[in-house]
Chain A
């Protein structure tokens, strides 16, 4: 009984022990926070990788590809048909894109992926990575942030899904898929998480009346949004005017005198260094909203004479955001904004290699339909998705006689990812290893995932050393307390306390320190994790500069994932260290000779 009483009393009266409690607490809190954030990042990253890749990828080693995609898919269906939910054939090849930006030609190495949006969308979330979707434009919504009000619908395109869904201009969007949102940024991150959903649930506030509306998730397509089409039209118009303006300068009339240039309607040359503003003011929906082109335009149809110059080219691409974006700091306000060098609706030049031997360079011009932002910078600054038919045509992958189209990889989505091992095994048995490689997305990204895991492991070891250091602190403080309490130990022995009893006082004291320290630490850590974004905002405000730059990490906020098992192990480890550290002082206390202890002054 006295053991419990004394160690609780020592806990309350020995303030020096607080130092060791605090060190245990800080160590535990740090471990909890770091583990949660690391797990959050890792989960987010895995989701993003998984979002771009499919569950299982069957690839050919050669860039020439497999000449008969349909036969291969049939084969996969036969081997593992009851596990497979969807499949898509893609062509992956190295390439280069180049585009003009303020009079410069920018060239970037890329991985060109020819896809069929419809089947690719069935295999992995595609549309949720497109910025036209996350900004609402794909649904015909023009959104803006209104100070104090939140996310406001500035305009709705007539005939668009948003219009059909019953959204009116002036509505305020307060929630998406059951989560409350404050601004367009939050809405975008909610929309990005609309993976595997058929509809978007929107909570709307219309003139103070709450409404719940549903919008269908649009299918990915190669069509330009109304905005992009408007932008393209503006570019074409600008180009036409530039040509018109240049005409008189190049043609010298017979009289030898240079006529004054036509001042009307363009007294000054258009500023070629600045691309025309792309996003029309959301408050005034562009007139083209009324004139949306027919959505299903046959790409392969031969050009008709009365072609609309603002029609997109036959080759169309989704560009990775990282290829065309860079952050710019405003010198005056210090604000960082994102500069886009190419906008949807503009054309880029793509260079790649042909299939066959020897490979030759091939060029084509493609219209940028959309910009995709998966959040994995490795993908966003490397990938260009292109319509597979055009890519096959350009690379000479279409058999002139049979019309068979070659593909380099087949992506498979499984009904249940847990079957991946079985399916991979079966596919490996069916497809010769010297021609095909069959891998799950995890195996394909193995080094990256392994690196993250290794990083977490090393970090954990280092952080646990912090707690170990705290353990030595406990050891030192306990030795001190034992010396200080020598006489009391003698008294207790004179009163009949046993060695074991004395030892358990100090072991119990260590246990109590560990429990209190790790308990408060876990609590502190969890609170910190819960309010990590508020804390980040506070630190940002305090330091005047961004701690966690979302333009670098692409996370709207710091992702966290608390794993109860990890937290439990951390707490147990800390308690264990506290007990271990108190063993030596406790043994010393137990070994004290009662008479000598009583005489100790």
Chain B
């Protein structure tokens, strides 16, 4: 298990690209992650430390022909850094939509989303793509692994998206080492060459977790991660998530309709008809 990362000093962001390239070269051997573009929220200052993700008066509605169907009707939410939050509610209460809007997969109709003190919902599409890649890790109910790729290739996909072919080739060893480490951590070391169709549900979900982690995200967004699993396997997955939260201080937002699963988070937000019903401190 990895030790929690010590808080890093605020990084000087190189403005011109040549500097960026030099830094990329310098960091290539030690850390496969390139310096982040300026629009990515910076490492939190102590003042911001409390709040990692915040949404204000979030509304989201879909159009169906002439009908406007509201899904979220004004959601205010703050997620602290290192918090494990679960969002529960009945089907159609808007919990998945909330997760999508927070993860920039969808844009809110009204309201704002802030991450580390910066508004992120009004960024350009390219910037939001980049942010999804670097800032968020997604876990889905039905795993959503790419069927053509092996487990290892699936796990490294976020980095494959992040880097150009040239950079990828220069760092492939570092990336593969990192991927192998993470895969070992989720207990799939013996399955590296397998296709998703050859894995069990629990293994697929663990592969999905490994994929979500490889990009070293700030926030892990899990949409019903145990929904397709039996309770024992679901519990294993929850154990993995809990340990990530505890050991790595990873911020996790998990959507679930299962009360027993929801209880394992620090805090439970219950949604009903697009509004926050109650906020419970979990036992």
* Chain A residues at the B interface, C-beta cutoff of 8 Å: 1-2, 4-6, 9-10, 13, 487-488, 490-499, 501, 593-595, 598
Contact = CB atoms under 8 A, between A and B. Distances in A.
A1 B160 contact: yes
Given A495-B132, A495-B133, A498-B126, A2 B157 contact: yes
A593 B63 CA distance: 14
B16 interface: no
B39 interface: no
Contacts of A493: 105, 129, 132
A1 B165 contact: yes
Interface string B179-201: 00000000000000000000000
A496 B160 contact: no
A499 B160 contact: no
B132 to A, nearest CB: 4
Contacts of B144: 487, 490-491, 494, 598
Contacts of A4: 165
Contact of A1 (B97, B149, B163): B163
Contact of A494 (B138, B145, B148): B138
A495 B161 contact: yes
B148 A6 contact: yes
A10 B129 CA distance: 23
Given A10-B148, A13-B148, A494 B125 contact: no
Contacts of A2: 157, 160-161
Contact of A501 (B161, B168, B215): B161
A482 to B, nearest CB: 15
B100 interface: yes
4 nearest A-B residue pairs (beta carbon): A496-B133, A1-B168, A2-B160, A496-B132
Interface string B114-132: 0000000000011001111
Interface residues of B, number: 34
A491 to B, nearest CB: 5
A129 B157 CA distance: 71
Contacts of A491: 144-146
Contacts of B131: 496
A32 B140 CA distance: 51
5 contacts: A6-B146, A497-B133, A501-B161, A593-B106, A598-B144
B107 to A, nearest CB: 10
A497 B161 contact: yes
B223 to A, nearest CB: 9
Given A1-B167, A492-B161, 17 more contacts: A1-B163, A1-B168, A2-B161, A4-B165, A5-B149, A488-B147, A490-B144, A491-B145, A494-B132, A494-B144, A495-B161, A495-B211, A496-B130, A496-B158, A498-B126, A598-B105, A598-B140
Contacts of A5: 149, 153, 160
Contacts of A496: 129-134, 158, 161-162, 215
B30 interface: no
A233 B279 CA distance: 126
Nearest to B135: A496
B213 to A, nearest CB: 12
Given A1-B160, A2-B160, A496-B161, A9 B149 contact: yes
B26 to A, nearest CB: 21
A501 to B, nearest CB: 7
Contact of A497 (B100, B129, B168): B129
Nearest to B150: A9
B161 A595 contact: no
A517 to B, nearest CB: 21
A573 B133 CA distance: 38
B59 to A, nearest CB: 16
Nearest to A596: B106
Contacts of A501: 161
